[in-house]
A = this chain, B = another copy of it.
């Protein structure tokens, strides 16, 4: 295997040493939904449309638009033929990715004869550069039920220019692929659909099936109730030294993870970005809310607490968006003067906002640029900014005699912790079924679908299995004067059961200590079959 592209080399060999927990996970054989256990057929549903702008989606995907989603039903048979299938991981890692691959592999082994499977290395770049590894039983074995994406590694490249499509075509022709499975998030599945369209338009035999994978839960619809999504993303809520502010990485665009963690751990404060945006909250109102709870708890004798915020909080605050937009504009037209005369170019609301920001954040906004000259919002350490702003407010209240304690905020940033763990039992089963299903869809000659496993609140054997037309999930966005297809990100629904449950409890959680420790993920015993609270509530659970 080459490492010329700078990606991780394969290091799990038969001689590799595992921890006891890892070893025990290797040997677990996974249950399958009943429909996948014996012969099945693929049944088409009705003609599909798009999530929005069907006319534009129709023009962008002339060969695929309108095709039905499908479900798998018991009985019937698929042709007995050998398949050549490629698989690629796209985007950031998430627990369970390896099990999608082993699911595909096991399908080919048990349901076809003489099939071959290739893993493209380092994400979509591996397709374009024809960098791959042949996946054998011995090779795949060492990744069963294991975390990480290191079996074939991932990457963030896109296949979008004519040259890139050409390169992809050459690879799949060279390997004579019947099918390609793309495991990835919303962008990667959009890309998978573009590939499916391109291959079909060119009368190629290679079919493309997507598999949902996102750590932050923003790829979700009726047919894709959950994706490779840590159902057990856990931290410990029992640390009671001063105030801890936890920023949760995996929620740049949506606050699903923050909401799930709040439901699992009952923090004193959790900020849900979608609510902040819907109510057009300001940075001041958010920090006031936090400060008020800190003061009330201090009065009750609790000089500590836990606050959860989504990493992308700033993106949800409309006035911050305005300020950043104006700054980008001003900075594009020349350097700023040290005396601050440039500030006059800000609208008055933005000027006021800028002035209440901590100095370090002001500097960050003015100094750090991305290659396009824009403010690097993602680099702003939101949890530290909030601590400084709350500190300043508490200092004032102290002077007014309204707060008598000392506040010490401790920022924590949780990032790869959530991405790189072992998949839970649920993750393992779900992802294995997704992979098995993706292979079944390719076997039946389908393309442009995303593997969909549903009824997840039931025992595995009762899970439903099928494929959703990717075009049916799409809308268009206008970028640089062109229509671009996008799968809409699933945001936290303020009318949904999970948020409503949170909203009904947060008052109690804020002033009392209702912390719950979800504990470490269990693979055996009574706690191994837990599904996440968001899903449970969406499925109608009462608490």
Contact = CB atoms under 8 A, between A and B. Distances in A.
B301 A517 contact: no
Interface stretch (A17-25, A81-89, A368-376, A442-450): A17-25
A302 B528 CA distance: 36
A526 interface: yes
A421 B527 CA distance: 16
Nearest to A518: B19
Contacts of A9: 301-302, 513
Interface string A512-524: 1111111111111
A67 interface: no
B20 A517 contact: no
Given A8-B513, A11-B514, 13 more contacts: A6-B301, A8-B302, A9-B302, A11-B512, A11-B513, A19-B519, A20-B530, A21-B520, A421-B517, A522-B523, A523-B525, A524-B526, A525-B525
Contacts of A251: none
B24 A517 contact: no
A517 B11 contact: no
Interface in A506-543: 512-528, 530
B514 A238 contact: no
Main secondary structure of the interface of A (DSSP, over half): loop
20 contacts: A6-B301, A8-B302, A9-B302, A17-B266, A18-B516, A19-B264, A19-B516, A19-B518, A20-B530, A21-B520, A21-B522, A22-B517, A22-B518, A24-B526, A236-B421, A239-B419, A239-B420, A422-B519, A520-B520, A520-B522
Q: Report copies per complex.
A: 2
Interface of A: 3-4, 6, 8-9, 11, 16-22, 24-25, 146-148, 150, 236, 238-241, 264, 266, 301-304, 416-417, 419-422, 512-528, 530
A24 B527 contact: yes
Contacts of A522: 21, 520, 522-524
Contacts of A241: 416
Contacts of A304: 8
Contact of A517 (B19, B264, B416): B19
B420 A518 contact: no
Contact of A520 (B11, B240, B264, B521): B521
**8 tightest A-B CB contacts, nearest first:** A524-B525, A21-B519, A520-B520, A3-B301, A11-B513, A239-B416, A524-B524, A19-B518
A445 B505 CA distance: 51
A146 B514 CA distance: 15
Contacts of A19: 264, 516-519
Contacts of A3: 301
A516 B17 contact: yes
Contacts of A519: 19, 21-22, 25, 421-422
B20 A526 contact: yes
Nearest to A9: B301
A514 B148 CA distance: 14
In the complex, which of the residues A16, A422, A525 has the most CB atoms of chain B within 10 Å of its own CB atom? Answer: A525
In the complex, which of the residues A16, A17, A240 has the most CB atoms of chain B within 10 Å of its own CB atom? Answer: A240
A542 to B, nearest CB: 13
A177 to B, nearest CB: 27
A28 to B, nearest CB: 10
A524 B264 CA distance: 21
B420 A236 contact: yes
A25 B518 CA distance: 11
Given A301-B6, A513-B11, A21 B518 contact: yes
Nearest to A519: B21
Nearest to A10: B513
A425 to B, nearest CB: 11
A11 B305 CA distance: 14
Contact of A527 (B21, B417, B420, B530): B21
Contacts of A527: 20-21, 24, 523
Contact of A240 (B150, B238, B303, B422): B150
Contacts of A515: 11
Contacts of A523: 522, 525, 527
A242 to B, nearest CB: 11
